[in-house]
Amino acid sequence: MARTTFHCDIETDSHEAMLAILRDWLVRPSLAMAVGRTGYETTHRDDTIAVYCYEAGAPGSGDSFYLLEGVVEAEPVRAAERLAALAGAARTAGLGCSIEYAEADADGAAIGAESSIA
User: What digits encode the pLDDT tens for the residues 3-61?
Assistant: 999 999 999 989 999 999 999 999 999 999 999 887 899 999 999 999 999 998 765 56
**What architecture does CATH give domain 3-117?**
2-Layer Sandwich (3.30)
Read off the DSSP letter of residue 115. E
Looking at residues 78-103, what average pLDDT do you find? 96
Query: Where are the chain's structural domains?
Result: 3-117
pLDDT-derived band at 98, boundaries 50, 70, 90: very high
pLDDT of amino acid 1: 72
Question: Is 65 or 118 the better-scoring residue by pLDDT?
Answer: 65
pLDDT, averaged across the chain: 91
Share of the chain above pLDDT 90, in %: 75
Cα Rg of the chain (Å, integer): 14
Measured CA to CA, the distance from residue 25 to residue 51 in angstroms comes to 11
pLDDT of amino acid 62: 61
